[in-house]
Amino acid sequence: MENSLILALDNEDLTEIKKIVNELCPPINIVKIGPISFLNNHKELFDFLSTKKISVMFDFKFFDIPNTMSNSINFLFNNNINIFTVHALAGETALRKLKNELDVFSKKTSEIRPKMFAVTLLTSFNQNEINSLNFKGTISDNVLNLAEKSIKSGVDGLVCSGEEISLIRKNFGNDIKLLVPGIRFNSNANDQSRIVSPRQAIDMGADYLVLGRTLTEANDRKSKLDDIINSLKN
Ligand code: C5P
């Protein structure tokens, strides 16, 4: 169960990041690095993580032309990155090219390929937001469409909200990995819109849960993590 949990390190302060990691890893053994933690500290941060047995979800949500994305993969292979994210909206051509480059690079170097996860619709999006962007249909319609295109392009997994897990499982089965942010114990959503509890997400078929502020902003993070892990047992 602990292998399903990903700790979101959304903090600029390296000292604080180290404190959080030392408190919570283990039992957590995957951390999520995004722009907030990476941009000011990336060298020291990766040096620190490499001293621990922690793998990295690199959450930069690539959304660029095929050439730019494909030429970014050296970094992924060189930094113990287990999972990285790309926007499904980058499109099938870009996703396919990227997957192909990953396979070629992995064969050439005999290194394990980082897993590519496509972000369907951000968990902060609600129906009004997608209407204002002139997307047709409901959130579910759009998530299903983006999931289908991403799976066809060869991604290893999808990032979706808890609200779409069952729908994706029903339409695309159990092979595709599902990674779910927007995890909350109560109704305090912050800027998120589509939220679920850890237990609901796992029961509906999530493979990975991203634990962000619900854990990192707790007064006692260790006991909060214990509560989360206990809520997932039985
Ligand atoms: O603190 P909170 O639980 O809201 O953090 C969620 C984390 O997951 C953030 O780092 C955010 O960037 C990320 N994320 C997300 N929605 C997605 C993909 C990633 O909230 N669709």
Q: For the chain, which residues make up each domain, given as ranges?
A: 2-229
Question: Any residues with Cβ below 6 Å from ligand 1, and which?
Answer: 8, 10, 34, 59, 119, 122-123, 159, 181-183, 190, 192, 210, 212-214
Residue 122 Cα to ligand 1 midpoint, Å, equals: 8
Residue 192 Cα to ligand 1 midpoint, Å, equals: 8
Look over the chain and give the mean of its residue pLDDT values, rounded to a whole number. 94
Rounded mean pLDDT, 27-55: 94
Residue minimizing CA distance to atom 11 of ligand 1 = 181
Decide if pLDDT at 57 tops 80: yes
Residue 96 Cα to ligand 1 midpoint, Å, equals: 25
Rounded mean pLDDT, 146-153: 98
Decide if pLDDT at 134 tops 90: yes
The active-site residue, picked from 32, 52, 53, 61, is: 61
Rounded mean pLDDT, 128-147: 97
Nearest residue to 141 via CA among 130, 129, 155 = 130
pLDDT at 39: 95
Decide if pLDDT at 20 tops 90: yes
Residue-wise pLDDT tens digits, 189-200? 788 788 899 999
61 is catalytic: yes
pLDDT at 152: 98
Residue minimizing CA distance to atom 5 of ligand 1 = 212
pLDDT at 28: 97
Name the residue with higher pLDDT: 229 or 189.
229
Decide if pLDDT at 104 tops 90: yes
| pTM of the complete model | 0.95
Decide if pLDDT at 187 tops 80: no
Q: Which residues are registered as beta bridge partners of 87?
A: 119
**2-229: CATH, from 1.10.150.450, 3.30.43.10, 3.20.20.70, 3.40.30.10:** 3.20.20.70
